[in-house]
Amino acid sequence: MERIPILQMGDFLLVTIQVDMHDQLALTLQDDLSERISKTSARGVLIDISALDMVDSFIGRMIGTISGLSKIMDAETMLVGMQPAVAITLVELGLNLPGVSTALNVERGMKLLQERVRQQ
């Protein structure tokens, strides 16, 4: 399976990362996502990483790129479902994901995004 599915939930897009990311998969995801944002006029992107036991600098960079690309297209990015061990590792490594908002789970992330969109 060579692409990560993007699910539409109202004004938002949900991406659940479950598999090991490699270069091509990350590029495909970025392409697919930008196309979907433009097609659906989505206001936000939720990236769920609850299935990941670890986040390395490659995934960190990919999340940063997605966030930057969404921002340009007027969509906010929210990272959700981070496992405690992943959070500890990120802090210890000094990877602080600049410009990326986080929430505990999809529900809270969606609520936060909805509030932000309403304020705009």
**CA–CA separation, 85 vs 6, rounded Å?**
26
Largest Cα separation within the chain, whole Å, is: 39
Rule CB under 8 A: choose which of 20, 35, 56, 74 binds its own copies: 20
Shortest Cβ 25–its own copies spacing (Å): 11
Structure-block tokens of residue 72: 């340009």
**CA–CA separation, 68 vs 37, rounded Å?**
13
**CA–CA separation, 52 vs 93, rounded Å?**
17
Rule CB under 8 A: choose which of 24, 35, 51, 87 binds its own copies: 51
- With CB under 8 A as the contact rule, which of the stretches 45-53, 57-65, 70-78, 93-101 interacts with its own copies? 45-53
Structure-block tokens of residue 53: 């036991």
Please tell me whether residue 78 binds its own copies under the rule CB under 8 A. no
For its own copies, the binding residues (CB under 8 A) are 1, 3-5, 7-10, 14, 16, 18-20, 48, 50-53, 81, 105-107, 110
